[in-house]
Structure 1
Amino acid sequence: MSPNALIPSHRKPRRPSASSRALRAGVTGGFLTLAVTGATVPANAAEKPVAETQEMPTITTALATSAAKSADTAEQVAFNYERQALQDSAFSKASKAAEKHKAEAVKKAKAEAKKKAEEARKAKEAAQARASRSSERSTLSASAPSSSSATGSSATLVSFLKAQLGKAYVMGSTGPSSYDCSGLTQAAFNQIGIDLPRVSQDQSTAGTQVGLDNLQVGDILYWGSAGSAYHVGVYVGGGKFIGAQNSSTGIVERPLNYDMPTGAVRVL
């Protein structure tokens, strides 16, 4: 044995290098594990080993796949919302267009129906007017009372008028040898105490207006409008009238359908 073996050494133990490190790495439970030893310490620090462990998350394949699926899902949801919005907008526009078209169709149908109804009404009125005129002619010529049924004042009136047949027509004349149309009627009604206006326009409104299908002996017939008639005569029954027609024929008796009057007034 060496004589120095029992003599303790006065040299200090050798310290680890301040810059030396030992790094251990490993994967545990999906985390990266770093073990650092021998970290740098100041020279005057207490001498003790340093061991520190840090764990960092590791991006695994499953995590990446999950993140990708989440992104795809979000994109699909956004696409679905956008598509639904476009569909809703298109449906709204189509609905409004359909409503507008329907309203226009209904309006057009109503206008057509109104037009047809108006045409039908006018056609009906025209048919009724033709039927009425035809009925009036038939009634006046077939069922009118005869002159023999006239009594009293009407008989006197008819008698005077028949006595004037064949006399001349002279414009402005009131008898006794010639007459114009209104002069004859005025003279005839004077025989029964009725004073008529002088001209045909006034005589056409002198009494009560009556229908041509309801004539009585002694009714004054007029041609033209009431109040502006251009000719007058007197109904004598049997579908006939007497009047001063014109300078060619003079005073004559004619059937009503020879020259159908416009209207009639009753003064008796």
Structure 2
Amino acid sequence: MSGLELRELHGMAEFGSASLLYADIWGTGPAGAPVSAEVMRALAHAGNYVAGAYEDGRLVGASVGFFGAPTGTTLHSHITGAAMGRGIGLALKLHQRQWALTRGLKRITWTYDPLIRRNAYFNLVKLGARPEEYLRSFYGAMDDAINGGDETDRVLAAWDLSASPATPETPDLDPPADAAHGVRDDRGRPELGSTDAEFVLIDLPDDIESLRREDPGAARAWRLAVRQTLGGLLSDGARVVGFHNRRSYVVHRATPSLTHPAHRTRSHLS
């Protein structure tokens, strides 16, 4: 986007501004910011990635990452936060990508909440990253405006830097007509279905963040349903190959099996 300045951050004043931005986005208050200025200072001094996006001199996005395993190949992006709906997050990720390529890295990894539809769409469709692992309650329960005290299940996503970045024209993946529906949205509640097919669809709720505030029971049911199906399929070696209609993971199974624990029909979690 025009008028946006992307650069690495330096000095405690800039790190402090980034920490306050994170606190505002996550709704924690300054003392509970997801990353402190002191930690950013240490990471930047050690040569890791700490960058910000400025618009008219005002910090509107920030990203923090550190080198990960395998050594010399990977940057792990710990946190990226930005004002929504203006392309700032995408600009930061592309800046991060170029930073990593300049240092000879081959991939960037990060974790994200698998229940937030906009994050799944951004990661899989706009960036072209792919989930590699389902991580149960990765950070424990977190009581902020986004997690709402729920367990923090996460997906580890990997972005292959040797591939061309996705473009606005990258088509959404249309699953085959015989795809199974492992989790279906049934009037706001998750309905478990069969996963015994080569392709499996896993729906996500319309707005998990609102559910966590207004109907924690429904939010928990969604987490357990997606944990059971997506987590189980990934652990069995299946691959997420797309995100359909901004709503559903598309999972490819090389060898469908009737023995998978998520194989069932018309069952609700509550």
Give the TM interval when normalised to the shorter protein.
Answer: under 0.3
The structure number with the bigger radius of gyration is 1
Normalising to structure 1: TM-score of the pair?
A: 0.18
Between Structure 1 and Structure 2, the one with more strand by share is 2
Between Structure 1 and Structure 2, the one with more helix by share is 1
